[in-house]
Chains A and B, each alone.
Chain A
Amino acid sequence: MGDAAALYWRLVGAQVRGAWQYRLSFAALTVGSTLATVLDLLAIVVIFEQAESLAGWTFDEVLLLYAATAVPFGIADLFVSPVEDTWEHVRLGVFDRYLIRPAGAFAQVCGDGFQLRRAGRIVQPLAALGLAVSRVDARWSGGRALFLVLTVAAGTAIYGAIWALTASGAFWATEAREVANSFTYGGGFLAQYPLDVVTGSLRRLTLIVPLAFVNYLPVTWLLGRPDALGLPAWAPFLAPAVAAALCAAAALAWRAGVRHYRGAGS
Chain B
Amino acid sequence: MTGPAAIEVRDVTKEFVVRRRVGRVRRERVVVRAVDSLSLSVRPGEMVGYIGPNGAGKSTLIKILTGILLPTAGTVRVAGLDPQRHRVATARRVGVVFGQRSQLWWDLPLADSFDLLRSVYRVPAARHRANLDAFVDLLDLGPFLGTPVRQLSLGQRMRGEITAALLHDPAVVYLDEPTIGLDVVSKARVREFLARVNTERGVTVVLTTHDLDDVERLCSRLVVVDRGRLVYDGTVEDVKARYAPDRTLVVDLEPGAPPPPGAVRSDGPRHWIPFRRDETTAAAIVATLAGLRDLTVEEPGIEEVVRRMYRDEARR
In the complex they form, do A and B come into direct contact, defined as C-beta atoms under 8 angstroms apart? Answer: yes
- Name A's B-contacting residues (CB within 8 A): 3, 6-7, 10-11, 14, 17-18, 93-94, 96-97, 99-104, 112, 259, 262-265
B119 close to A7 (CB less than 8 A) = yes
Option from A11, A99, A102, A104 in Cβ contact (under 8 Å) with B116: A11
| Contact mask for chain B residues 84-115; partner A; CB cutoff 8 A; 1 contact, 0 none | 00011101101010100111010110001000
Stretch of B61-69, B134-142, B256-264 lying at the A interface: B61-69
A263 close to B119 (CB less than 8 A) = no
CA of A262 to CA of B64, assembled, Å: 9
Assuming A10-B116, A96-B63, is B70 touching A262 (CB within 8 A)? yes
Given contacts A14-B112, A100-B103, A103-B91, 4 further A-B contacts (CB under 8 A): A96-B63, A96-B68, A100-B91, A112-B105
A262 close to B103 (CB less than 8 A) = no
Assuming A18-B108, A99-B68, is B116 touching A3 (CB within 8 A)? no
Smallest Cβ distance from B316 to chain A, in angstroms?
Answer: 27
Q: Which of B69-91 contact A (CB under 8 A)?
A: 69-70, 87-89, 91
Which residues of chain B are within 8 angstroms of A7 by Cβ–Cβ distance? 119-120
A sample of 17 inter-chain contacts (CB < 8 A) reads: A7-B119, A7-B120, A10-B116, A11-B116, A93-B101, A96-B98, A96-B101, A99-B67, A100-B66, A100-B91, A102-B89, A102-B92, A102-B121, A102-B122, A264-B16, A265-B16, A265-B60
Assuming A96-B101, A97-B103, A103-B88, is B67 touching A262 (CB within 8 A)? yes
Option from B17, B60, B107, B122 in Cβ contact (under 8 Å) with A3: B122
Smallest Cβ distance from B136 to chain A, in angstroms?
Answer: 20
Smallest Cβ distance from A114 to chain B, in angstroms?
Answer: 12
B91 close to A102 (CB less than 8 A) = yes
CA of A263 to CA of B63, assembled, Å: 11
B69 close to A262 (CB less than 8 A) = yes
Closest to B86 in A: A102
Most chain B CB neighbours (cut-off 10 Å) among A93, A96, A259: A96
CA of A242 to CA of B74, assembled, Å: 42
Smallest Cβ distance from B128 to chain A, in angstroms?
Answer: 14
Smallest Cβ distance from A26 to chain B, in angstroms?
Answer: 13
CA of A6 to CA of B120, assembled, Å: 9
Assuming A99-B68, A101-B120, A102-B88, is B101 touching A265 (CB within 8 A)? no
Which residues of chain A are within 8 angstroms of B70 by Cβ–Cβ distance? 259, 262-263
Smallest Cβ distance from B178 to chain A, in angstroms?
Answer: 15
A100 close to B68 (CB less than 8 A) = yes
Smallest Cβ distance from B112 to chain A, in angstroms?
Answer: 6
A265 close to B120 (CB less than 8 A) = no
Which residues of chain A are within 8 angstroms of B66 by Cβ–Cβ distance? 99-100
Smallest Cβ distance from A111 to chain B, in angstroms?
Answer: 10
B120 close to A103 (CB less than 8 A) = yes
User: How many contacts A-B (CB < 8 Å)?
Assistant: 65
Smallest Cβ distance from B284 to chain A, in angstroms?
Answer: 52
Which residues of chain A are within 8 angstroms of B17 by Cβ–Cβ distance? 264
Closest to A259 in B: B70
Assuming A262-B67, A265-B63, A265-B69, is B116 touching A101 (CB within 8 A)? no
| Contact mask for chain B residues 187-215; partner A; CB cutoff 8 A; 1 contact, 0 none | 00000000000000000000000000000
A14 close to B88 (CB less than 8 A) = no
CA of A7 to CA of B116, assembled, Å: 9
Which residues of chain B are within 8 angstroms of A104 by Cβ–Cβ distance? 88
Which residues of chain B are within 8 angstroms of A94 by Cβ–Cβ distance? 101
CA of A101 to CA of B121, assembled, Å: 7
Which residues of chain A are within 8 angstroms of B88 by Cβ–Cβ distance? 102-104
Most chain A CB neighbours (cut-off 10 Å) among B87, B103, B112, B121: B87
Which residues of chain B are within 8 angstroms of A99 by Cβ–Cβ distance? 66-68, 87, 91
Closest to B112 in A: A14
Which residues of chain B are within 8 angstroms of A93 by Cβ–Cβ distance? 101
Which residues of chain A are within 8 angstroms of B89 by Cβ–Cβ distance? 102
Smallest Cβ distance from A262 to chain B, in angstroms?
Answer: 5
Smallest Cβ distance from A22 to chain B, in angstroms?
Answer: 10
Going nearest first, the 6 A-B pairs with the smallest beta carbon separation are A102-B91, A102-B92, A10-B119, A102-B88, A99-B68, A262-B70
CA of A205 to CA of B170, assembled, Å: 50
Which residues of chain B are within 8 angstroms of A6 by Cβ–Cβ distance? 119
Which residues of chain A are within 8 angstroms of B112 by Cβ–Cβ distance? 14, 17-18
Assuming A100-B91, A262-B68, is B103 touching A14 (CB within 8 A)? no
Which residues of chain A are within 8 angstroms of B103 by Cβ–Cβ distance? 97, 100
CA of A17 to CA of B109, assembled, Å: 11
Closest to B94 in A: A100
Which residues of chain B are within 8 angstroms of A112 by Cβ–Cβ distance? 105
Q: Which of B1-42 contact A (CB under 8 A)?
A: 16-17
